[in-house]
Amino acid sequence: MAEIRPLLVAFDSFRPRASHRLRLMRESPGAVGSGQGLAAPWELRLREDFFSQFGPAVLPVPESLEASRLYLALKLSTRYMDEGIREAAQELFSAPAFLASVSLSVLVYFAAWLAPEPLFSKAFAAALTVRLSLLVGLVELSHLAMACLRLYQEAEAATTPQQLEAASERFGKSLGGTLLRVLVVVASLGVPQVLPKVPEDGIWTLLSPLRHAPTGGPGLESITMAHVVADGTLLFTGVAAGTSATSFCGELTTCAVMDDVGGGPRLSTRYGKPHTRQNPPHNEAIEKELAGREAAGHTDLRKNRPQLNAEGKPLDDPALARGVRFRKPDVSSVRPDGVRHNTNYVSNPRDMQRELEAFEAMLRADTSAIHELYLLDGTLVRRYVPPGVSFPWMGR
């Protein structure tokens, strides 16, 4: 909690103290906030900051954010967040200026993700999109955007407190620690006056200036446009594109960027050659998982290579399913406790049967290893954990 205090102080200073005065309000029974009324001067300044940073709003902005359904739904949602983040979220969302910033981030930035192929043409928004995608992944960003859209739609449609509460509950339960942090980052970066007062360490390191300068390459703020195409590839243009893309991939382990002049997307190859150039998201999911395992102390990191046992020897499928002699897990590593961990991803649901057959073949070949099968969006399809093996491992 101590880490968020400076952020709260900064937002509190942005919103001047209101003097105590009597307010007469007329509200019909069961009514919920509609956003009617005039915005306070501090809110108008906050809007100007957001629009100057991110560009114009995609969704309608209410006359008063503090009186809007979205604002109230966001505040209520903290009740339903996981216990590990609930206290910090309630503390943050208790600050009116911060909560107004979160509301604007939904209306201005996350709403831009709702297009079939989102395009961020404002330089600041483009650089932020690239940085967040490198840090948490495009899938996570799109999930957060969809959760924000659903909350906005359900809040706008709510005509009773019960309906608004239900929308808040769905949103709160969908927001894990990572997505909450991304929401906080976007909300905070929309207000430049707040940034100098934010600490430079702890869990708020993402709030530092948007800059990443690999050796020999320029910073991320030189990016001028970010475009997420239908297959999930992130393309960006600007001074950085085509000159430091390799450095980005090498240091941050996950990216798919486009040169300024022609060519296709460059895929991450830190852990081995591209899985397939026709499916960049699949390759990036593999690279991201291997990076996480390396950070957790796993060894023998393997990308799309023949299945091995705990002794490091090749394994054949005894049943030779579909005539395949051995399998190639997308991700394979050995945990610090010596247990091998194999993972495959399904890109196309139409290939599910084939992937399930491969999963069973890998299990037949080695029942002493952990085997997992996921969709690219992180949904678990199948998992096998050997008897006596802890999962998840404490260090993972």
For the chain, what is the mean pLDDT? 75
Question: How sure is the predictor about 33, in pLDDT bands with cuts at 50, 70 and 90?
Answer: low
Please count the other Cβ atoms lying within 10 Å of the Cβ belonging to residue 176: 15
- Identify the residue with better confidence: 350 or 334: 334
- pLDDT value of position 77: 94
- Counting residues of the chain whose pLDDT is more than 90, the rounded percentage is 24
Comparing 88-97, 306-315, 323-332, which segment has the lowest mean pLDDT?
Answer: 323-332
Higher pLDDT, 58 or 299: 299
Find the mean pLDDT for residues 153-177.
92
Whether the pLDDT of residue 98 is over 70: the answer is: yes
Q: Strands, DSSP E only, in the chain?
A: 119-120, 223-228, 234-238, 256-257, 266-267, 299-303, 331-334, 340-346, 370-375, 380-384
User: Is it the case that residue 259 has pLDDT exceeding 70?
Assistant: no
Is pTM, for the whole model, over 0.75?
no
Give me the mean pLDDT over the 308-328 stretch: 65
What is the predicted pLDDT for the residue at 138? Answer: 80
My answer on whether omega of the bond before 196 falls inside 30° of 0, hence cis, is no
User: Can you tell me the mean pLDDT for 201-220?
Assistant: 41
Q: Give the pLDDT confidence score for residue 176 in this predicted structure.
A: 83
Is residue 150 pLDDT above 70, yes or no?
A: yes
User: What is the average pLDDT across 293-320?
Assistant: 80
Tens digits of per-residue pLDDT, 185-209? Answer: 888 877 655 444 444 444 344 444 4
What pLDDT, on the 0 to 100 scale, is given for residue 374? 92
Of 30-34, 95-99, 101-105, which gets the smallest average pLDDT? Answer: 30-34
Q: Give the pLDDT score at 211.
A: 38
Inform me whether the pLDDT recorded for 252 exceeds 60: no
CB 208 within 8 A of CB 115: no
pLDDT at residue 164 tops 60: yes
- Residue 341 in contact with residue 370, Cβ under 8 Å? yes
Confidence class of residue 277 from pLDDT cuts 50, 70 and 90? low
Neighbours of 25 (CB within 10 A): 5
Residue bearing the bigger pLDDT, 326 or 329: 329
**What is the rounded distance in angstroms from the CA atom of residue 45 to the CA atom of residue 346?**
47
**Domains located in the chain, CATH noted:** 280-384 (3.40.1350)
Q: What's the CA angle centered on 106, arms 105 and 107, to 5 degrees? A: 95
Q: Which residue has the higher pLDDT, 277 or 286?
A: 286
So what's the pLDDT on residue 153? 93
Which pair of structure tokens corresponds to residue 257? 């960027």
Q: Which of 221, 195, 217, 220 is nearest to 207 (CA)?
A: 195
Question: Model confidence at 103, in pLDDT bands (50, 70, 90)?
Answer: very high
Band of the pLDDT at 256, cuts 50, 70, 90? Answer: very low
Q: Which of 222-226, 254-258, 315-319 has the highest mean pLDDT?
A: 222-226
Please state, in angstroms and rounded to a whole number, the distance separating the CA atoms of residues 121 and 150: 24
